[in-house]
């Protein structure tokens, strides 16, 4: 259980719209977009697709999502030096990531984990949680 | 003559600019070329937006082709005409610019770009940042000499399969050398995405010729356009266009471009039966 208290109900409430947006962005069927699907491994997303998805989520949910937000949020209170060394996530960083990305099964975390590989962990639910965080930060007027 | 800032540059003068916010400019289509496809009007609007985005990052970053939610093809243009260009930037960050824009000709809308996103990459990988900055100053002051574009380069499509009125497939063989490579980009030649768009529209037009409609079909909108990878000199693209839906006077063609097994581009083109704008 993550320390940030995003409930399954909150995720379930926005998942259908997120799934529709992702299916549009990735050119796949909505049925393929499962909450635990890895964007890269299961849905074939590339870096341009991440940009596309973030912009579509911004428009769809009327929130602002600064790029790099997931990794920045994942680091939390850890300094960059405490989070990674030489491009590899530290033990403290991995612990923080496992808490923050609680939707990602632990066996999907490689060891060692390179910073560049973090996006490979992201699931559809990861993006649902990102939207919820941004909605909480700036609720619609 | 050196093709840098000439062979594939479609902004002659910047008439107003707020870096990272909005920009206006003009482009004189050379009179001596045989055609100026609407995809190049899209290129002109994109290049204009790029100048504003680059200025916001002191020319250390530059956008490249990425995503267009919609490209509305409103009316054709002819060689010799002048495009009035405008772009509004929705956001500019170090990794991406989001923008929309228009091209007008003699007060008539030619093309509209809606919700475009371009990844921002290091300028030095593509061009000399100082040369780009100097060019920007020239465009903002006296403007550049018009007429650098020598015309759409020959890019023959080799048919590889078809089912009349259902789908067509063709290979676009990109030559090792093209005049536009001197300008797109000076340090890293790649096939402009808008030239791929032009060839894709050509293939889709051929598909739609086999779909019955009294007055023929006209492409109106390209939506969900996405460029996933650069196409380099000497590479080949497999382009497939497939009639996805026909609903009375409207038809939608699904497009996919592949390099081998990898999908490198996709879009949908909406056609309207002629006589029903």
pLDDT digits (tens, 9 = 90+) for A84-116: 999 999 999 999 999 999 999 999 999 999 999
Q: Is B188 on the interface with A (CB under 8 A)?
A: no
In a domain, A3, yes or no: no
Domain B157-273: state its class.
alpha beta
> Mean pLDDT over residues B265-275, rounded?
93
Higher pLDDT, B20 or A5: B20
The overall longest dimension of chain A from CA atoms, in Å, is 43
CB contact under 8 A, B67 and A55: yes
Q: Is B242 on the interface with A (CB under 8 A)?
A: no
Mean local confidence (pLDDT), B208-223: 95
Q: What is the mean pLDDT of residues A23-37?
A: 93
How high is the pLDDT of residue A140?
A: 60
What pLDDT sits at residue B1?
Answer: 58
Nearest Cβ partner for B119 among A44, A51, A66: A51
Report if residue A80 sits inside a domain: yes
Q: Write the ipTM.
A: 0.80
Distance of residue B261 Cα from the nearest chain A Cα, in angstroms: 12
Q: CB A67 to CB B98 under 8 A?
A: no
- Note whether residue A2 is domain-resident: no
Q: What is the CATH number of the domain that holds A78?
A: 1.10.1200.10
> What is d(CA B220, CA B88) in angstroms, rounded to the nearest whole number?
22
User: Does pLDDT of A27 surpass 90?
Assistant: no
pLDDT score for B179: 95
Q: Is residue A13 part of a domain?
A: yes
Closest Cα in chain A, distance from residue B171 (Å): 22
Euclidean distance between CA atoms A138 and B8, whole angstroms: 43
Among candidates B95, B117, B224 on the partner chain, residue whose Cβ is nearest the Cβ of A24: B224
Chain-centre distance for alpha carbon B70: 12
Summarised one tens digit per residue, pLDDT across range B14-71 is 999 999 999 999 999 999 999 999 999 999 999 999 999 999 999 999 999 999 999 9
Rg (chain A; Cα; Å): 15
Kindly state whether residue A38 falls inside one of the protein's structural domains.
yes
Question: Which B residues, 63 through 102, put their C-beta within 8 Å of a C-beta on chain A?
Answer: 66-67, 93, 95-96, 98
Give me the CATH code for the B13-140 domain, please. 3.10.129.10
3-state secondary structure B180-245: HHHCCCCCCCCCCHHHHHHHHHHHHHHHHCCCCCCCCEEEEEEEEEEECCCCCCCCEEEEEEEEEE
- Which pLDDT band holds residue A139 (cuts at 50, 70, 90)? low
Please tell me if residue B226 touches chain A, with a CB cutoff of 8 Å.
Answer: yes
d(CA B252, CA B268): 7
Q: How far apart are CA B36 and CA B89, in angstroms?
A: 25
Domain ranges in chain B are 13-140, 157-273
pLDDT of residue A47: 87
The total of structural domains in chain A comes to 1
Domains B13-140 and B157-273 share a fold: yes
CA A10 to centroid of chain Cα atoms:
15
What pTM was computed for the model?
A: 0.91
Whether the CB-CB separation of B265 and B228 falls below 8 Å is answered with yes
Q: Which domain holds residue A63?
A: 8-137
Residue length of chain B = 277
Mean pLDDT over the full length of chain B? 96
Over residues B118-122, mean pLDDT: 96
User: What does the pLDDT read at residue A1?
Assistant: 47
d(CA B208, CA B167): 9
Mutate to test the interface with A, among B99, B226, B258 (most CBs of A within 10 A): B226
The pLDDT confidence band at residue A35, using thresholds 50, 70 and 90, is very high
Supply B262's token pair.
Answer: 């990898």
> Does the beta-carbon distance from A49 to B228 stay under 8 Å?
yes
pLDDT of residue A2: 58
Q: What pLDDT was estimated at residue A141?
A: 55
Judging contacts by C-beta atoms under 8 Å, the chain A residues touching residue B95 are 51, 67-68
Domain for residue A1, yes or no?
no
Paired sense of beta strands B82-92 and B167-173, if any: unpaired
pLDDT (tens digit per residue) in A39-77? 999 999 998 999 999 999 999 999 988 777 777 888 888
- A16 assigned to some structural domain: yes
Minimum-distance CB partner of A46 among B95, B224, B228: B228
Q: What percent of chain B has pLDDT over 90?
A: 95
Residues of A in contact with B226 (CB under 8 A): 48-49, 52
| Residue A118 pLDDT | 92
Domain membership of residue A70 (yes or no) is yes
């Amino acid at each position: 259980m993550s320390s940030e208290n995003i409930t399954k109900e909150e995720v379930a409430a926005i998942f259908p719209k997120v799934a529709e947006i992702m299916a549009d962005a990735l050119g796949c069927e909505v049925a393929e977009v499962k909450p635990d699907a890895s964007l890269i491994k299961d849905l074939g997303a590339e870096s341009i697709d991440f940009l596309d998805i973030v912009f579509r989520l911004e428009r769809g949910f009327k929130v602002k999502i600064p790029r790099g937000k997931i990794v920045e949020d994942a680091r939390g209170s850890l300094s960059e030096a405490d989070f990674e060394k030489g491009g590899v996530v530290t033990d403290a960083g991995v612990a923080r990531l496992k808490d923050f990305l609680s939707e990602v099964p632990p066996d999907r975390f490689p060891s060692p984990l390179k910073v560049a590989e973090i996006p490979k962990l992201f699931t559809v639910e990861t993006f649902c949680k990102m939207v919820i965080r941004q909605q909480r930060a700036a609720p619609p007027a | 003559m050196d093709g840098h800032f000439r062979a594939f540059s479609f902004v002659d003068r910047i008439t107003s600019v707020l870096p990272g916010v909005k920009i206006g400019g003009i482009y004189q289509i050379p009179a001596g070329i045989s055609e100026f496809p609407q995809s190049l009007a899209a290129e002109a609007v994109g290049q204009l937006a790029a100048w504003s985005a680059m200025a916001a990052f002191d020319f250390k970053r530059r956008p490249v082709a990425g995503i267009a939610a919609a490209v509305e093809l409103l009316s054709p243009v002819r060689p010799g005409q002048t495009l009035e260009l405008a772009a509004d930037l929705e956001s500019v960050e170090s990794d991406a610019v989001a923008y929309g824009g228009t091209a007008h000709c003699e007060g008539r809308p030619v093309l509209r770009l809606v919700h475009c996103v371009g990844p921002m990459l290091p300028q030095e990988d593509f061009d000399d940042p100082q040369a780009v900055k100097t060019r920007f100053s020239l465009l903002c002051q006296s403007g550049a000499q018009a007429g650098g574009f020598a015309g759409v380069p020959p890019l023959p499509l080799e048919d590889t399969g078809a089912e009349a009125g259902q789908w067509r497939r063709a290979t676009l063989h990109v030559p090792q050398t093209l005049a536009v490579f001197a300008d797109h980009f000076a340090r890293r030649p790649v096939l402009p995405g808008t030239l791929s768009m032009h060839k894709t529209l050509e293939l889709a037009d051929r598909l739609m010729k086999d779909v019955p409609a009294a007055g023929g079909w006209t492409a109106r909108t390209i939506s969900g356009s996405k460029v996933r990878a650069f196409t380099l000199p000497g590479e080949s693209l497999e382009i497939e266009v497939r009639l996805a839906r026909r609903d009375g006077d409207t038809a939608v063609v699904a497009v996919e471009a592949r390099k081998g097994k990898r999908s490198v581009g996709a879009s949908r083109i909406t056609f309207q039966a002629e006589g029903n704008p």
